[in-house]
Chain A
Amino acid sequence: EAGVVQSPRYKIIEKKQPVAFWCNPISGHNTLYWYRQNLGQGPELLIRYENEEAVDDSQLPKDRFSAERLKGVDSTLKIQPAELGDSAVYLCASSFEGLAGAGELFFGEGSRLTVL
């Protein structure tokens, strides 16, 4: 079974440029998460989707970050314009959430962003 797929793995851009990351979750997983991991830190949640609905985006910097999950499957995370402080690894995760609550989170390999 394929895991969570993310692209690109690496991206280097100059500040003020836009960037987009793509995530394809595990088939059948209804919940999708975007986390950001700064160097030497643990991941921090940016946004969580249940199907196509963003149910928690309280940590997403909405002035420059946007996300969408059309059709409740794959998702994109966009930054426009990028700032130096956005350099980080952007991790996508998915899980199946049923009546018993959330199951195990499966993470993709991440997209490493460097803003120059």
Chain B
Amino acid sequence: SQELEQSPQSLIVQEGKNLTINCTSSKTLYGLYWYKQKYGEGLIFLMMLQKGGEEKSHEKITAKLDEKKQQSSLHITASQPSHAGIYLCGADMDAGGTSYGKLTFGQGTILTVHP
């Protein structure tokens, strides 16, 4: 089973709609990373969250890490076709946060935005 579960697995929205992608772990997360990937390309870093309750925003994308540090959400406001792609959460799941880049990834969420 996946250590990090993302939901939904895929999402189709109309341009302008808001959407949320969730990333859930059964273990405490010591660092949570959100990446975006376009098909056939590498991963592009979006945001990193480390503290429980932390929230970060970049343009129309907001990510939060819950207080218990076991779930993160990525919210896109007023989606655009340029937001389409695969969103991946990656986490440092090593106690003490010493895994130094040994990120465990979720399976990804495929986002399609129709104009």
Docked-complex contact A43 and B43, CB < 8 angstroms: yes
Docked-complex contact A31 and B43, CB < 8 angstroms: no
Docked-complex contact B42 and A41, CB < 8 angstroms: no
CB distance from A12 to the nearest CB of B (A): 15
Choose from A56, A91, A101, A112 the contact partner of B43 (Cβ within 8 Å). A91
Choose from A91, A102, A110, A112 the contact partner of B101 (Cβ within 8 Å). A102
Interface size on B (CB < 8 Å)? 23
List chain A residues, Cβ under 8 A from B97. 101
Asked whether B41 is an interface residue with its Cβ less than 8 Å from the other chain, the reply is yes
Q: How would residues 39 to 71 of chain A score, 1 for a CB under 8 Å from any chain B CB and 0 otherwise?
A: 011111100100000001000000000000000
Could you say which of B53-61, B68-76, B104-112 contacts chain A? B104-112
Docked-complex contact B90 and A42, CB < 8 angstroms: yes
B interface residues with partner A (beta carbon < 8 Å) = 4, 33, 35, 40-45, 48, 88, 90, 97-98, 100-108
**When chains A and B are docked, how far (Å) is the Cα of A31 from the Cα of B108?**
25
Interface of A is mostly: strand
**When chains A and B are docked, how far (Å) is the Cα of A40 from the Cα of B103?**
17
Interface size on A (CB < 8 Å)? 25
Residue in B41, B88, B100, B105 with the greatest tally of chain A CB atoms within 10 Å: B100
Asked whether A22 is an interface residue with its Cβ less than 8 Å from the other chain, the reply is no
Assuming the contacts A42-B90, A45-B102, asked whether A110 and B48 have C-beta atoms less than 8 A apart, the reply is no
CB distance from A36 to the nearest CB of B (A): 11
Assuming the contacts A106-B45, A107-B42, A109-B42, asked whether A41 and B108 have C-beta atoms less than 8 A apart, the reply is yes
Asked whether A25 is an interface residue with its Cβ less than 8 Å from the other chain, the reply is no
List chain A residues, Cβ under 8 A from B102. 45, 48, 56
Q: How would residues 84 to 116 of chain A score, 1 for a CB under 8 Å from any chain B CB and 0 otherwise?
A: 000000010101010001101111111010000
